[in-house]
Structure 1
Amino acid sequence: MSFEYAGATVEIVDAATILAAARVNPVELLRRAVFPAPVSGAELTVTSADTGSGPVHVFVAEIRADGADGPSKERLRAIVLGNVPVGPLLAKRIAAGDVVTTRIVDEVGAAALAAYRKLGLDRPAGPAAEREPGAVLADAAAGMQATVGYEREGVVRLRAEVARDEVRPEHLEAMVRLMLHAVVELLGPEAGERPLAGRRYLVSRETIPRVATTTQTVTLDQVGGLADLVAELRQIAVSFRHPEAMARWGARRPQGILMYGPPGTGKTMLSRALANEIGADFREVRTPEILDKWLGGSERNIKQIFRDARRYREPTLILFDEFDSIISYAGSGGDAASQAINAVAGIFKQEMNDLIEANPNVIVVATTNFPHRVDDSLIRSGRFDVKISVPRPDEASRAEIFRKMIAQLVAVYEEPGFTMFADGVDVAELARLSHGMTGADIKEVLRRVQLAKAMQDARTGGMVGPISQDELRASITELSTQR
């Protein structure tokens, strides 16, 4: 999706994915965009919120202008001294170091600054800043309205809400247009008819969110070391989000995905990330929800799970985690236990046969550490169309996992005056030392170092340096000897 505005070329990369990701994590856009003076920067954030009228997508654009902090102390002194008859005399006393005179003038300046802000003189120049708080900018084509506010000095803030069920890529494009409209207004008429001529703005997801990532909020952007696998999951997400394209070509997207591989390689995390990429609700089914010691109970449970699935109106990913423990060795043995397993497996096969036709909003993922324990008839094509092996990461993949995990920690926790990791951290060496480790193991390596640093900080009152390469090496060695 691309368009031109005020001479600039604007490209929005996969708007549907941006809107889907915003259901889980705030998505920050255009933070690195450069605009002509006096606009010093702009940010566009898309997030999700629950309101009294239902869930909404919230679009917030903040545009900063030079001089956002108001006049300097020196400027205020000049204003004060230039507007009183004894100004030159007071200026000489300040220059001579007279503390009392300096304090009096600065207190008058502080009062002037308070009045300056109260009167709204701290707003940046331009028509956008002349709008009263609560004024509205609108895009008629998308039916989008954004209110104008001034919550901080020198910052114009646009805010719009769209019901989650109604939000479309056109709303994101409209918000970008409204933000650029406000930028152009701040530049003023002297900037000409095409004040952004020759500039190109790319609207795409930031890969490292500035919030702590949990298993529930992980995205495919944050998955390290599985590039081919992530690319395949992205394709599945695209096919899920664009049913009109599927229908046009008579194509059928996958209705079931089987992920298999050793423990700790991230199968459950990938399932969550796929749900977040789609913008789908996540429903996890575990063994106790199905298996029942009473005759016929397990069969009733599996039927109820699929009965509910056929009624979902929101996009939903259903995860059968540890699939082999729910349905294993189907068809073997003649005892009561085997017959119960066969009954559950038989119902599962029937329900999966037409699930996508019954409810295209649902996609099923099953994960297992032991694929040989699952009968082939259960996971044949048509039921589970995609089968993905999730291996232990190789050295290059481990380096990527270390890099992304460290970058995420830095984005969330570092702040002015606090450095979390030393400059000399070598992820390539860490990858070599962590031979055989999974993503879960690498996360544990970092957790142990963080905990050790926090305990040291607590004992010394903050006199702790950043995490070093030696400390990371020691944590890897410690975990390796315990495995």
Structure 2
Amino acid sequence: MSEARPGSETFEYAGATVEIVDAVTLLAAARVNPVELLRRSTWPSPVQRVDMTVSANGENHVFTARISAGAEPMSTERMRKIVLGQDPIGLLLSKRIAAGDPVATRIVDGVGTAAAAAYRKLGLDRPTGPAAEREPGVLADAVVGLQATVTYEESGTVARLEARMPRDEAGAGHLRAFVTLTLQAVLEISGPDTLTGRHYVVSRETVSKTPMTTQAVTLDMVGGLAGVVSELRQVAVSFRHPEAMARWGARRPQGILMYGPPGTGKTMLSRALANEIGADFREIRTPEILDKWLGGSERNIKQIFRDARRYRVPTLMLFDEFDSIVSYAGAGGDAASQALNAVAGIFKQEMNDLIEANPNVLVVATTNFPHRVDESLIRSGRFDIKVSVPKPDETARSEIFRKMVRALIAVHETPGFRMFAEDLDFGALGVAATGMTGADIKEVLRRVQLTKAMQDARGGGADPISQQELLTAVRELRGTP
């Protein structure tokens, strides 16, 4: 099996098809950092979400799963549906809200909030039936000797499974057994036959079958930045679980500053974080703020934050090339310097209480030149996390090559067509690409793909992309013989 094409195991359980990809590598990775699985799967009602994690704790591998179930959450959209209905007035208000009418929005959301409060007071948001009365228990797989303890929290809305296995004994069979026990717990909540026809992929990373775009990127697809990805995952967890934050009186990060050389993936990481959270992505570029007319820049930045305070859904706001927007121009008295200083001052004021005004918003700023940004602007409380995104080292470059190649294979290879040869050595490619960024590696692959496509277009056919062709493209891009 080629390193570019990982092995997988497929089995059926309760009518569902389950595919476990590269279990050995997954368990090895869990020794270093927790590995999350099944995060983007869909589940039968009333199960809303299943978070599965494999990690290492001392001498053990720890398998955990958190199954969230319950009534349909009372979201803003659901509140509006209840309030508006299908009568003529409701349809008219719906059109006004869609057109952005702030008065109609405030009226309907105000009534909806009152309806939601009544909904909770009557207990309609709590599950009923057997799921709400379950007692702790044990699920076991006798074949591999794995036992999972099951506990229920929050009036039965959350089930937790945990199993432990000595680290040196844990293998693919134990992973498969825990997945099966988790699906068994899902069935106990959702009922028999509810998994029939569903497909689940258990994988350290998700390789999409559709062409990867910047808009669709996830943290799983990011190669070579394990530390950065781990930190962003923690941010995503804190954003997705406001109830846990409230229970402990904790405040999740309000702002993140990412800095590093060009081409290291700062903008991509921002989009990946938004997708990890399930948030809308709003990118603010320099021309949207800076205006040549007196007072225009100040009005623009105020309007951007005024809009941010009204977002009704989770939203990540990205200020790309942050230094060009808010860097101080020094003590100069010219109009440009005054405008930059004014914008920076307004930005500071708006960031002081943004999370309290609208907890749906997360601000991310990226820059290649962090020394150009005033320190008071990015202090803790405004930007709580500051992440350095460096050029990848040898191991990271190998990982970037591996993930990019696997993504291309998933999208483009078909029966009878091989895009890449079996001789790929990602370690050697990582060594050869010394000094390159992720953007450079993407360009290497683009050039080789274009060469092969041109050969094919001329009718001569083309062999799969080989190790030597990739090494040649790396040398050409680096300008080395």
Counterpart residue type for residue 465 of structure 1: D
Contact 2:245–2:252 (Cα < 8 Å) also in 1: yes
CA distance in 1, matches of 2:238, 2:373: 27
**Equivalent position of 2:40 in the other structure:** 18
**Equivalent position of 2:300 in the other structure:** 301
Contact 2:37–2:204 (Cα < 8 Å) also in 1: no
**Equivalent position of 1:198 in the other structure:** none
Q: 1:181 aligns with which of 186, 189, 192?
A: 192
Relative to structure 1, the CA distance from residue 354 to residue 183 in structure 2 (aligned partners, 3 Å threshold; closer, same or farther) is closer
**Equivalent position of 2:96 in the other structure:** none
- TM-score of the superposed pair, with normalisation by structure 2: 0.61
Contact 2:423–2:467 (Cα < 8 Å) also in 1: yes
Counterpart residue type for residue 267 of structure 2: T
1:141-187 per-residue CA deviation (whole Å, 9 max, x = no partner) reads 89xxxxxxxxxxxxxxxxxxxxxxxxx999x989963999339999x
Relative to structure 1, the CA distance from residue 422 to residue 225 in structure 2 (aligned partners, 3 Å threshold; closer, same or farther) is same
**Equivalent position of 1:318 in the other structure:** 317
**Equivalent position of 1:469 in the other structure:** 467
1:82-127 per-residue CA deviation (whole Å, 9 max, x = no partner) reads xxxxxxxxxxxxxxxxxxxxxxxxxxxxxxxxxxxxxxxxxxxxxx
1:336 shift after superposition = 2.3
* Partner SS state of residue 182, structure 1: coil
Counterpart residue type for residue 215 of structure 2: Q
Relative to structure 1, the CA distance from residue 267 to residue 304 in structure 2 (aligned partners, 3 Å threshold; closer, same or farther) is same
Contact 1:445–1:479 (Cα < 8 Å) also in 2: yes
Counterpart residue type for residue 471 of structure 2: R
CA distance in 2, matches of 1:209, 1:371: 34
- State whether structure 2 residue 439 is matched by structure 1 residue 478: no
Residue segments in structure 1 that go unaligned for 5+ positions in a row: 21-26, 31-53, 56-138, 143-167, 187-200
Counterpart residue type for residue 182 of structure 1: D
CA distance in 1, matches of 2:393, 2:202: 33
CA distance in 2, matches of 1:238, 1:17: 12
CA distance in 2, matches of 1:473, 1:361: 46
Counterpart residue type for residue 474 of structure 2: I
Counterpart residue type for residue 477 of structure 1: R
Within 5 Å, which residues of 2 pair with 1:57-456?
Answer: 177=187, 181-182=192-193, 207-329=206-328, 332-456=331-455
Contact 1:225–1:396 (Cα < 8 Å) also in 2: yes
CA distance in 2, matches of 1:308, 1:174: 45
1:14 shift after superposition = 6.4
CA distance in 2, matches of 1:249, 1:214: 38
- TM-score of the superposed pair, with normalisation by structure 1: 0.61
* Partner SS state of residue 366, structure 1: strand
Relative to structure 1, the CA distance from residue 429 to residue 15 in structure 2 (aligned partners, 3 Å threshold; closer, same or farther) is closer
Larger radius of gyration: 1
1:479 shift after superposition = 0.8
Sequence identity, in percent?
72
1:245-271 per-residue CA deviation (whole Å, 9 max, x = no partner) reads 001101011000000000000000000
Counterpart residue type for residue 469 of structure 2: E
1:334 shift after superposition = 2.8
Counterpart residue type for residue 472 of structure 1: L
Deviates most, 210-219 or 351-360: 210-219
CA distance in 2, matches of 1:349, 1:370: 19
Contact 2:38–2:202 (Cα < 8 Å) also in 1: no
1:203 shift after superposition = 5.7
1:460 shift after superposition = 2.0
The count of corresponding residues between Structure 1 and Structure 2 is 322
Relative to structure 1, the CA distance from residue 419 to residue 257 in structure 2 (aligned partners, 3 Å threshold; closer, same or farther) is same
* Partner SS state of residue 434, structure 2: coil
* Partner SS state of residue 458, structure 2: helix
